[in-house]
């Protein structure tokens, strides 16, 4: 069965790059451009994995992840952001010990794809 990934990212160029790479790996990809839309899509689609930015319009990624968890959505989550300060990392990881955190500027797109595939293999 194909794995579903929901990307919540407001940078349209980066979103397109992620989508193309994931689709080339045989993943079903949906996306949202802000946190509110991302939360609604997570409820509707129940993806296997959410890949989300922290700095998003309408609802930040950390608030969105808390709301998703509070609503019983069991999707795996990876934060993908340029925020690498310890405070943001701590806030993100407090939501669940099963959430990953990737700093965009520290990795190549291939490494992001590999991390997502690894996380999906644990389902």
Its sign, for the CA torsion 13, 58, 7, 66, is positive
For the stretch 36-74, pLDDT in tens is: 999 999 999 999 999 999 889 999 998 999 999 999 998
pLDDT band at 105 (very low <50, low <70, confident <90, very high): confident
Q: Crossing angle of helices 35-45/61-70, nearest 10°?
A: 30
For the chain, the structural domain boundaries read: 4-121
Query: Does domain 4-121 fall into CATH 1.10.3720.10?
Result: no
Locate the DSSP E strands across 3-108. Answer: 4-8, 28-32, 49-52, 76-81, 99-103
Give me the pLDDT at residue 97, please.
63
pLDDT at position 88 over 70: no
Say what the pTM is: 0.90
């Amino acid at each position: 069965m194909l794995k579903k990934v929901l990307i919540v990212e407001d940078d349209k160029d980066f979103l397109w790059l992620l989508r193309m790479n994931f689709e080339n790996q045989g993943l079903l990809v949906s996306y949202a451009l802000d946190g509110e839309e991302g939360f609604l899509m997570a409820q509707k689609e129940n993806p296997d994995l959410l890949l989300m930015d922290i700095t998003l319009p309408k609802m930040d990624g950390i608030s969105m992840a808390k709301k998703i968890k509070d609503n019983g959505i069991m999707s795996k989550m990876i934060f993908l952001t340029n925020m690498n300060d310890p405070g943001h990392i701590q806030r993100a990881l407090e939501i669940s010990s099963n959430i990953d955190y990737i700093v965009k500027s520290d990795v190549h797109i291939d490494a992001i794809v590999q991390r997502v595939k690894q996380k999906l293999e644990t389902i």
